[in-house]
Structure 1
Amino acid sequence: MSFGFTGTAFDYVALKGPNYGVARVSVDGVVRGTADLYSSAFTYQQKVFSVAGLGDTTHTALIEWTGSKNASATATRINLDALDIIGTPVAVTDAGAPLTTCDASDAWRATNATVTLSATDDTGVKATYYRLDTGAVTTYTAPFAVSAEGTTTIAFWSVDYSGNAEATSTATVRIDKHAPTTTDNAPLVWQTLSPVDVTLVGADALSGPAGTYFSLDGAFPQLYTLPVSVSGEGTHTIAYWSTDAAGNVETSKTATVRIDTAAPVTTDDLPRVPWLREPVSVTLTTSETVSGLAALYYSADGAEATTYAAPVAFSGDGTHTIAYRAVDRAGNAEATTTLTFHLDSTAPVTTDDAPQTWQTTAPVPVTLSPVDPTSGPAATHYMVDGGDIQLYTLPVSVSGEGTHTIA
């Protein structure tokens, strides 16, 4: 209640009892203090609050219910028995409806909001009311919590003891308790081209993403603005996360990018000679240090290609071929290497036309005829009667009486 007077002081007189609470006393809009109306037993006509030392002019005083109480009290009611005024009572003119303010912020937040409503009125605020969205109207008694995610609209107003009702005002509370979610389009398989661009997309259904950050291969984090360009042979790691407008921070995720732009290199141990005289086994060795070897294929003598597992054996006189190539796990394929070689494990056969009977004339020419159906004769050597070995180029001329031997 409010009252007016011209004077310098007044006493607030009330009934005290076990079910009474605390009243607030204001003069000319300034709170002077509170009066505790609690008593373990009912006592009447008690001076519960005094105001003195006012200027000798007209004042407006207000006694309000606070909704608070002594810890031992069973209720919060207040009352007024009398006012002892040092001065003259005057009529109070009601200037209009109360004015209620709300401390809610409409900025996005990640936690529940506690909202306080404060109302003032020259004749006293009888009650303040509020409603959350389309919910029920609630009498305001103390700060209240808003916990629902999303946007909550608070409607609020007050009425005074003169019956003036304030026009409804609104405030907005925005809550987002969940972190954003970021996705990437990093390829799951080895890549054979460099660089590889990875796009990060942050999403948040409520407050919206505020920023996306990433770190490439452990480097200092950066704000994501363009696709992350990843280059260089080997395995790379992108750590990334997003924040939203409410301040929620996503738990870091990782994406892996694997790059291998070079094909494997395979070598063989086949001797580089025109002809081989013995069966041979060819060993293939592949070098692949990035993605690893997927398979090594070979074809022997034009047969269907097969996977290399052990040295490839060749036998049989004649011409042979081996073709091989390797493929790595990234899909890089080595150019096919084809080798042709010749194998001749059979010695040539040489014949002669030496006469089988005694000859009566000298010298006697003897022709040597080598035959080799595979590699062909390379040279023919001979010696006469155990003499020096000579290269055969012309028929051997044998002279002198007696028996002679050509080897």
Structure 2
Amino acid sequence: MPAAYAAVSRAAEPTANQVLTWTAGDDYMKYTSAPVTAVAGKATIVFDNSAAAGNTTGLSHTLTFDVSNPDYNNDVSLNILSSPFDSEGGRHTAEVTLTPGVYHYFCAMPGHQMMSGELIVTAAPDDDTTAPDASATVAGTKDSSGNYVGSASVTLTASDAESGVAGIEYALDGASYGAYTAPVVVNTVGHHTLTYRATDKAGNTSPAKSVEFTIVATPPQDNTPPDTSATVSGTKDSSGNYVSSATVTVTASDTESGLADIEYALDGASYRAYTAPVEVNTVGHHTLTYRATDKAGNTSPAKSVEFTIVATPPQDNTPPDTSATVSGTKDSSGNYVSSATVTVTASDTESGLADIEYALDGASYRAYTAPVEVNTVGHHTLTYRATDKAGNTSPAKSVEFTIVAAPPQDRTPPQVSASVSGTKNDSGDYVGSATVTVTASDTDSGVARIEYSLDGGPYLQYSAPVVIDRAGSHAFLYRATDKAGNTSTPQSLSLTIVDSKPPTYCPETDDRSTVFVGSINTGVPNRVTTNGCTINELIEDHRAWDNHGTFVSHVGDIVTTLRKEGVLDQREAAEIKKAAGHSDIGMPSHGPAGH
């Protein structure tokens, strides 16, 4: 078994409250089955790649949870390699603890990366103390004063990120609440108030909100006929006559009751329904008359356009011009690697192009409808020709090219290294700041990206040397990934920064190892932020607060900023916000927070 994958032993009996099962088989593009949702808490992961589950070829797969992407939960490190021929027969289990959010999973076997998906984990209903968010929109036809003409439709929506929405209720103009099942249509003239609220599956009900709107009566009947116009298109000669045919397009509009139909009459014939542009191809002078009627029964005055059609000029005896280009990835000898694409073009300035044909390596001609991709190794000749609408066929031309096999697949991760620069003191510590420069190389597919993590934080994209200016000891991890998807083993370096200037002022001093909100320990590391203060020092929960909501809003602003700066990941930010909501800081009975 490769050292990069760790086998997970099958448990005798699952002990978690929920069992989540993934299955794999002969397909390397997707898992045979996979769960979509789960509830936060303990879970038994089952990965079944056995013959009984459908693997008839002995193909190996993995179930790997992504812990490198800060946009997903990364608190479950799971990497199960399974084969029908391993000691477990291809069926493995693992016990994990899931937290609310989204997990990204995939198969890490080379060439199997299309096998991926997302697992959405919601909070257990008993933990949900937050009411749903509810909103309303009013739709309908408005007049110039913003009132709704004739009627208005109120659409209610609600969302709950924890236990989910159970139902929505509404009350119109002070009546009793009723269940909301579809948009509410109100057609009584006057001013209206619609009050609404939502309840989640944990029983939390949102504060009542309302929307106000006014309905006015429909304006008087439409007595104005539609506006109409017409345009003539086609190929003209030097005298402005249309060659062979002309197309008349009629348009009409009505801003009051709306358009009902359009009619036309050609050269004095009876009116008929206009449903599409009218093509006229009879040589001579023509008059097309048209009119339109709106939904109120008003018909516009008849209008007309005149035009002349002349016969097509003498026959085309000149074949089309043709050319071809070959594109693709070339090696140093000019051969195409794996495949080549031949694009054939043709033009005819007289009668116009009818079709293009091609023949590959002496086979019969076939219709050319799109660039031809050739992926067979060897020397090739593609012959091509074109025919115009007058029946003239161009002389056959050809292009020659050679295709060679693609080199072996890249399975070697990049080489990565880092260096530290800065001013050192006699003890070897860096004074004021240090700059870490990371370099990587890959001689096969090439380097795709470099990432780094500082002091246990999430991995971030490396785009320029990293300056560290916070006094203290620091741990710096770094790694690189090539274009074939191979990621190097993370490497690390340690360094110490000593102050070269007075310390940064912070609202309070708090260097506890984890973030506390009041007496609640979130378990999130109390990291140093970009302005030199720790997370606890920025929260400063022991000072007097006007109310609990002000404190919760203050914490929300801080974690949003730290999330954007990469100091916190999604899960850590959510933990701190949740602790702020559960704390009693800012409530009347709350005194100064102790440390």
* TM-score class normalised by the smaller sequence: under 0.3
Q: Relative contact order, CA 8 A, sep 6+: which one is greater?
A: 1
More helix by share: 2
TM-score in terms of structure 2 length: 0.19
Bigger Rg, structure 1 or 2: 1
